[in-house]
Structure 1
């Protein structure tokens, strides 16, 4: 049996709790966030922006601070830190800082993208800062096109993108640098097309690579593969690829997570009329462990306490247990158990915050990362849960925050007098729903003060049921109104307007 989607901030025994769906106060950016890297208590953010501002404010607010495509925030408070490097690109380029990657010891922050200078110094498409001080290091190489993704071990920094040379030396979309000296290494596998994501396998022997390529080192499969971390960079056995029908219909891996605890590679994918959900893969041979076929390109994933969070434009998850059918609109933030029990497809968990897509046909969420307590989300959105918040937000576990969001509003109930009855009225209403609690307690309230009935009921926003209660023992001829109060597990409530008055028979 697949686990139930009752999982939320207060799930039944044996099910994983999620972070709350209530966004925490977080400073915003005035442009797209392409990546977030949480290192200890600091969240580093890179993208295409020129300023940051407090939560709840509009662009140009007097408290706005200049930040040129790179910024740092306190992960626990969402407040900005004073670190403010200046990252600049060739005029007309948009993806300024595309990826951020901390070294395993947390003492270096690497960044890549299409930028050319950092703090006025030449740093074509790759740079590094010492941590926690944030001083620009001497790492410098002339890379002839964008570097989209990074992965690091204690000794080596691996890079992927669309470039063809490093310092005039041929490197076909993949290269590596010695982290001690900064020198280009002999590691030189090849990809025939764009490399978009990378991760180091849990045993540190492989670089897992995702993107729009058809071959690595001349070998399939499309979109996903692995090469050795040793000096050879030769391909390793890899079974699971992504779908390729044609250049206009194929999938690509947008994000990769290597989980040492479970020896698993988690993959998110986007596609054009093809697979664009999530997968879990055994790094030892690339064998598929599970796959979800939720429709709507996935741009980013994050793993916290056994839950895999994803940012996408999901619009049909009917293929997953407890998933929603084709809906009008998108559910851009989702959660599922990373290690589902007894199923090849994980269920959708009851965690439903969302964002908009942002201007200019944006995606919405484009980056995710976190630590044990906080999930950070970046992208090109301008609202979170229908409230203004641009390009950056975060959510917390119940160890660091409270579940404060009330259930969604309830429309007023209808009240009727059943035929042939005396002193009786029937109250009918439609369920509401809560973003992070599956079960709500409903109270039927007569005349504004008297609770006449209480029941618990589970609800999903795409399948709201009709509930009713028959109120008996009323004085014949008396007139009454009714309202409905819904309360989540933590006492957050919403209450409907009062019904029209109706006379009891």
Structure 2
């Protein structure tokens, strides 16, 4: 099946599924009731998210395309030349060279000494890839690292990309490092184009991308190598277009493949499929992503899994670009999230699916936001449960709203890569700011309440207005607009008279897209007395923000 985008919902949520051969009469509906809410202090029985407070983290001077975590070590790959401390600008005196690969301590955000040098071959006159670096004078170089994957026993780190050399040694688009030493090992091959996706079992490393030969042997965008000795194997399924993501099924018998291909082993559907790990023959698979035309299509960008399902993210041009949960045995759909705004990265932590996107309209989802105003056009980091509430056929958008900008590149995406170790969640991409324009390039991280505190206050509270109710004596009415918090839906408000006396306290739930006016009438004031008022917003962890004082108003 292919996933069709849906129109904004009215009283129900509707999904239309298309097979690769045409429409079928399957429409799922669910009445939208009060959705589940999660944050760092949710009601009993509701899952707890990590905090939305970004933690101090070293930065890159370019794009991070891939992240993998091994315990408290974070490996990142991409297209960058240096790393630098948080809060500093490019060229800072503390900047350190790192050529497309780097490693960091997950707990501190500090760099580790591992620093391989990844290089590519310069090209002249004809730009070979849209993602290659422009060196000027009609020269380009393709050297980015696009994929990092660990072996199941965690003793090897596999690397895929555009590069031709690592540490001065020939490595044609694929390489491997021994762990924990971090030394480049003897695994060596020459692929004629980009490796974009990797996945591994105990016996085999699987690769996908845009290549058509491996060491001169035909391999149509998919290949496999023996983990013992590194030899190219006979496993040779085919994809007719680019492969962007790969993952083995929970039982290890299949490789699930995502990308922009139309056919896998000459079989539909578009963008998603599965083959057997041993033979490469096609395995049963039901669900794909949209293809209407080159100008209206979707492609799979990332795949993650738990013990129950495979989860896929998609980018789309005027079509589906949200998230999918799929049965790993046959690819049938468990749920569809039709948020609009291309999704590039996924990770699962404590039963929640965290995603990086440039979401701008999640009306299709319970507790989802509508098309966002020009002042706040994208919500680039989201969380939702992997398992559905029985009341819905699609997951709610949880109350976790950190965000980044889209960065200076033409991609204008923001988050591009995510991984976690159960305590910390790291995000990489082409962004240059995090949370309220805080300068931070390429990398950021967040923590669970087990390892960090929720310390950021709610967003600023606007100056309240004060009026004298008509026909009253000794009364003033205070009106203020709700504020919101990135990871707590319920806030407490204190109304403060004359800069010192708390005269009213109220709790209220709020979300950034629908802030309401709240009022309180102060009574028993001396007629003719003049007063000012401010409002303080307090989250469940006692983080506070106080508005400026109102203009003075005289009670009647």
| TM-score, normalization by structure 2 | 0.89
Evaluate the alpha carbon distance shift between residue 60 and residue 391 of structure 1 in structure 2; reply closer, same or farther with a 3 A threshold: same
Q: Secondary structure at the match of 1:115?
A: coil
Retained in 1: the 8 A contact 2:118–2:143?
no
- 1:357 counterpart = 2:388: no
Retained in 2: the 8 A contact 1:193–1:213?
yes
Partner residue of 2:114? 83
Partner residue of 1:200? 248
- 1:109 counterpart = 2:157: yes
Partner residue of 1:501? 552
Retained in 1: the 8 A contact 2:156–2:179?
yes
* Alpha-carbon shift at residue 95 of structure 1 (Å): 5.8
For the residues of structure 1 that align with 2:158 and 2:82, how far apart are their CA atoms? 21
Deviations 1:120-168 (A, max 9, x none): 0000000000011101010001101000010011110000000001011
Tell me, which stretches of 5 or more residues in structure 2 are unaligned?
A: 1-31, 123-139
**Where do residues 166-177 of structure 1 align in structure 2 (5 Å cutoff)?**
166-177=214-225
Evaluate the alpha carbon distance shift between residue 157 and residue 278 of structure 1 in structure 2; reply closer, same or farther with a 3 A threshold: same
* Alpha-carbon shift at residue 6 of structure 1 (Å): 2.9
CA RMSD of aligned residues (A): 0.9
* Alpha-carbon shift at residue 360 of structure 1 (Å): 2.6
Partner residue of 2:511? 460
For the residues of structure 1 that align with 2:112 and 2:34, how far apart are their CA atoms? 41
Partner residue of 2:342? 297
* Alpha-carbon shift at residue 94 of structure 1 (Å): 4.6
Partner residue of 1:373? 423
Match for 1:226 among 258, 268, 274?
Answer: 274
Deviations 1:346-404 (A, max 9, x none): 00000111000000332100000011101000000000011000000000000000000
Retained in 2: the 8 A contact 1:20–1:397?
yes
For the residues of structure 1 that align with 2:317 and 2:35, how far apart are their CA atoms? 31
For the residues of structure 1 that align with 2:400 and 2:36, how far apart are their CA atoms? 9
Partner residue of 2:130? none
For the residues of structure 1 that align with 2:143 and 2:334, how far apart are their CA atoms? 33
Retained in 1: the 8 A contact 2:353–2:385?
yes
For the residues of structure 1 that align with 2:515 and 2:322, how far apart are their CA atoms? 26
Partner residue of 2:67? 36
* Alpha-carbon shift at residue 16 of structure 1 (Å): 1.0
**Where do residues 484-499 of structure 1 align in structure 2 (5 Å cutoff)?**
484-499=535-550
For the residues of structure 2 that align with 1:62 and 1:3, how far apart are their CA atoms? 53
Partner residue of 1:404? 455
* Alpha-carbon shift at residue 2 of structure 1 (Å): 6.0
Retained in 1: the 8 A contact 2:270–2:289?
yes
Retained in 1: the 8 A contact 2:121–2:143?
no
Partner residue of 1:324? 369
Match for 1:19 among 42, 50, 55?
Answer: 50
Partner residue of 1:271? 316
* Alpha-carbon shift at residue 76 of structure 1 (Å): 1.1
Tell me, which stretches of 5 or more residues in structure 1 are unaligned?
A: none
Retained in 1: the 8 A contact 2:142–2:163?
no
Partner residue of 1:446? 497
* Alpha-carbon shift at residue 3 of structure 1 (Å): 6.8
Partner residue of 1:475? 526
Q: Secondary structure at the match of 1:437?
A: coil
Partner residue of 1:348? 397
For the residues of structure 1 that align with 2:60 and 2:288, how far apart are their CA atoms? 36
Retained in 2: the 8 A contact 1:70–1:87?
yes
Match for 2:292 among 235, 245, 251?
Answer: 245
Tell me how many residue pairs correspond in the alignment.
502
* Alpha-carbon shift at residue 4 of structure 1 (Å): 3.2
Retained in 2: the 8 A contact 1:176–1:184?
yes
Retained in 2: the 8 A contact 1:211–1:253?
yes
| TM-score, normalization by structure 1 | 0.98
